[in-house]
Amino acid sequence: MTESYDPHAVEAKWQEEWRRSNADATPDSPEDPFYMLEMFAYPSGDIHMGHFRNYTIGDVVARYQRMMGRDVLHPFGWDAFGLPAENAAIQHDVHPAEWTYRNIETSRRTLRRMGLSYDWDREIVTCREDFYRFTQWMFLLLYRRGLAYRESSEVNWCPVDQTVLANEHVVDGACWRHPDTPVERRELEQWFFRITEYAQRLLEGLDDLEEWPESTVKQQRTWIGKSEGAEVDFELQEGEESLSVFTTRPDTLWGVTFMTLAPEHPLVERATVPERRPEVRGYVEAARAKSEIERTDASREKDGVFTGSHVIHPLTGDPVPLWVADYVLATYGTGAVMGVPAHDQRDLEFARRYDLPVRVVIQPRGEELDGETLEQAYTGDGLMVDSGPFDGTPVEEGIHRVTEFLREEEIGREKTQYRLRDWLISRQRYWGCPIPMIHCDSCGIVPVPEEELPVLLPESVRDFVPTGRSPLEDVPEFFETACPECGADAHRDPDTMDTFVDSSWYHLRYVDPHNEEEPFSRQAARTWLPVDFYIGGDEHATGHLLYFRFFTKVLHDAGWLEIDEPAVRLFHHGMVKDAEGEIMSKSKGNVVSPARLFDRDGVDVPRLAMLFFAPSADEILWEEKGLEGVRRFLHRLWALFVATMADRRVEEDREVERKALSSGAREAWRLAHRAVQRTTDSLEGDLNFNTAVAAFMEMLNALRKPGPPDEWSDEDFPVLVEAFDLSARALAPLAPHLGEELWHRLGHEESVFDAPWPVAEEEAMAQESVEIPIQVDGKLRSRVYLAPDAGREEMERAALSDERIREVLGDEEPERVIVVPGRLVNLVTG
């Protein structure tokens, strides 16, 4: 009776041993530091399959780097503030803190069962006072640097959660948590972080992120949305007021035939002539009532309303009618645009609808456009016409010369415009980090002195039903305080911070998590940062990953960090969905629980299955029966291993004598080395472990072919032992418990993770090449047959007709000929 593979026993044994020996502790004085980071988790119940996948991939890399001799920092923590805790509190009458800590317990237990190589001594929890006091410290740092400001403006409001939202959290006009409920626009005074100040540097920094996914870099680039052009001033015909517009095409200035204001533009009311006010007001009201989705629907027919007044064209002096239209965005540029219908499609549509003139001022070469009949706005290259002194100037040159001219005449200036908006960080909710600011009637807004941090979140709050104002306002012992400057009665800012503020710096805390004086020491930061490898989902491309870069740059400027970008390499793993391709969710009832999988198969089987199912960046459609193949593989590997090690022929110092091997054993030997190579390639490259696992399966199939170990010849037998030695080590990052067990059964004292990473023998990688003379009509034409991966016998069987060879070779005298048996001939000359 042979011992069968019992993953539960093996895993319990090694997890206990790793804990006892503190195997995952971070090295104290690292010589070759490697910071491996996976995005931390929001604790909502237990971990899900997405976490399982993310943390598995990260653990594979961390363990590999350790075997490569790096000193690895591999920490974990919890993104513990956030709305779901409050919603749970409302539904289940449990305090958000209690709910959160309970979920952390549950999730941590599952993660620990996974045997992940985290240094749990560095665990952080963002809702704990030892963390959030430094989140407040960060706020004060930004405030001191003029990067945190309070302003009243029109902001996004989620009617379900009853709180404001950052721009990054509005998806298709709705709050990201409630895709069916459109966001509303409200005029409110809120805290913002001045990320726009860093727009240019965030853009430039992207060029250096060579190991970030291209798609993410591209998304950030469009999100920041840089446009270069000019700002042009127009005077109102009546009164003293003036009006600026932003344009990327100052060369088309002579083609302006109307001017349009966004309905929210502050000038609308004053610029409207009295007799038209009712109509304009009606239009503005209607525009405000429209949802964000309606407003921004580009396919909608454009409409607007005439104010009755005019602006003066700054170059021609002509009056230009001033309109109000809701296709103009209040939040971009100046909230006003000049209408150049001949050269802007939107303006053309508007002009046609209201019979406004269309003036062609750019003529394409070899064509004559007519404003009367133009159907499509012309936006291409050409020469300026009807443009006063600039007639005949090509577009590109015209843009520069007109801008220069505007500057000289003091009616305009060069202007760079970004699509990026400042980051709104206030939330009118309880479960978040309090904003460390105090409102005093006489001193205004006053920061809480640093030595008074943390501003504690009061635990006494019991009512979390959203009302549109922070519950902290109703907690007198929190809300009411004294002004730090004058000592008079004052009140604290009752809002809490966006949880994305927490995640903008959590990775910095890991380098020095127990520091009570500072968020982290500069020394520890210098040692470990930047993050060498960061893994998480791509849904954070224009949110977290942008904020996280922003914070890095701010802390760099403040002298806290030497680095300017937070992470060298970024990888996005694919989603895990159900077999039908649906996202797993409680409401759909299709959630697969990792913990349940571990109950049945232990950890290594589902872990290896996760790695085997698809390339790491691709989506996985999880199917229970897919586990079967991996389960069989591990059980067979174990069975063969146990039978081999029980065999007395295992001796010390038995080297594989390659020349003496039978072809079957040689093939197995070759495949073992290829599996090692394939795993190394995956780890160094694309993280596509599916092919690495497949290579090990091929190796095992080859090892099983000659029969059980006692049927192996003495010459072939060492191949088995060598294959197990290689497997134990190269498989260890993928299936850590099993790898460790095999390694120890091979007679090693130290952990497999302290063993060196195996190097595949080149001989096993080499392609077959055999020298065979090629003769045509009895005459030697060339010498070498080469065929990738083809055996000698096969090659000798290669059937090539004389005609075929003659046809290909012609009169050439090739250096060598590449033949794929029976099929293909390629001559290589020179």
Residue 626 binds RNA, judged by CB under 7 A: yes
Angstrom distance (rounded) from CA 593 to CA 609: 15
Of 246, 510, 533, 550, the one binding RNA (CB under 7 A) is: 246
Q: Is residue 262 involved in binding RNA (CB under 7 A)? A: yes
Out of 247, 272, 426, 504, the residue judged to bind RNA by CB under 7 A: 247
CB of 547 to RNA, least distance (A): 15
Looking at the Cβ atoms of 643 and 746, the one nearer to RNA is 643
Both structure tokens of 338: 């000049």
* CA dist list (Å): 813 to 773, 779, 798: 14, 12, 21
**Cα gap 457→478, rounded to integer Å:** 8
Structure tokens at 293: 């989705």
- Which residue, 368 or 789, is less far from RNA as judged by CB? 789
User: Are 660 and 715 spatial neighbours (Cβ–Cβ below 8 Å)?
Assistant: yes
Residue 149 or 332: the one with the smaller Cβ distance to RNA is: 332
Collapsed DSSP state (helix, strand, coil) of residue 641: helix
Which two structure tokens, joined as six digits, stand for 233?
Answer: 């001033």
> Taking Cα atoms as reference points, which of 510, 555, 513, 547 lies closest to residue 532?
510
Distance CA 631, CA 638 (A): 11
Q: Is 302 in the site for RNA (CB under 7 A)?
A: yes
| 298 part of the interface to RNA, by CB under 7 A | yes
| CB closer to RNA out of 40 and 633 | 633
* Interface with RNA, residue 223, by CB under 7 A: yes
The minimum distance between CB 426 and RNA, in angstroms, equals: 22
* Residue 362 interacts with RNA (CB under 7 A): yes or no: no
Candidates 45, 84, 615, 664; binder of RNA (CB under 7 A) is 615
Q: Which stretch binds RNA (CB under 7 A): 50-58, 221-229, 502-510, 552-560?
A: 221-229
- 604 touching RNA, by CB under 7 A: no
Report d(CA 153, CA 191) in Å as an integer.
Answer: 10
- For 370, other C-beta atoms within 10 Å of its C-beta total 9
Report cis status (omega within 30 of 0) of the bond before 530. Answer: yes
> Residue count at the site for RNA (CB under 7 A)?
79
Binding mask 630-669 for RNA (x = CB under 7 A): x-xx-xx---------------------------------
| CB 773, CB 752: distance < 8 Å | no
- Binding of residue 613 to RNA (CB under 7 A): yes
| 505 near RNA (CB under 7 A) | no
- List the one residue from 790, 800, 805, 814 that touches RNA (CB under 7 A): 790
| Residue 298 Cβ vs RNA, minimum distance, rounded to whole Å | 3
Map residues 664-693 to x or -, x wherever contact with RNA holds by CB under 7 A: ------------------------x-xx-x
Q: Which is nearer to RNA, 458 or 615 (CB)?
A: 615
Q: Are 706 and 716 in contact (CB under 8 A)?
A: yes
Regarding 219 and contact with RNA (CB under 7 A), the answer is yes
Our CB check for RNA shows the closer of 46 and 347 to be 347
The stretch near RNA (CB under 7 A) out of 174-182, 329-337, 647-655, 659-667 is 329-337
Please name the amino acid found at residue 157: W
Per DSSP, 486 falls in state T
Nearer to RNA, 603 or 819 (CB): 819
Closer residue to RNA (CB): 603 or 605? 605
Per-residue HEC secondary structure of 387-409 comes to CHHHCCCEHHHHHHHHHHHHHHC
Q: How far is the CB of 713 from RNA (least distance, A)?
A: 18
Binding RNA by CB under 7 A: which of 417, 428, 470, 680?
A: 417
Neighbour tally for 408: CB within 10 Å? 9
Residue type, 768: E
* In the complex, minimum distance from the CB of residue 367 to RNA, in angstroms, rounded to a whole number: 21
Per-residue x/- mask for RNA, residues 332 to 351, rule CB under 7 A?
A: xx-x-xx-x---x-x-----
DSSP state for residue 680 in the 8-state scheme: H
Applying CB under 7 A, among 131, 327, 478, 551 the residue interacting with RNA is 327
Rounded Cα distance, 319 and 313, in Å: 6
CB atoms within 10 A of CB 818: 16
Site membership for RNA, residue 704 (CB under 7 A): yes
Q: Which of residues 426-485 bind RNA (CB under 7 A)?
A: none
Q: Residues 195, 348, 787, 805: which binds RNA (CB under 7 A)?
A: 787
Q: Contact between 419 and RNA (CB under 7 A)?
A: yes
Cα(233)–Cα(250) distance, rounded to whole angstroms?
12
By CB under 7 A, the residues from 68 to 97 that bind RNA are none
Q: DSSP assignment of 432-478, as one string?
A: SPBP-EEEETTTEEEEPPGGG---PPPTT-------SS-GGGG-HHH
Q: Applying CB under 7 A, which of residues 67, 535, 554, 697 lies at the interface with RNA?
A: 697
Distance from chain centroid for Cα 796:
52
Listed residue (619, 633, 631, 534) closest to 581, CA to CA: 619
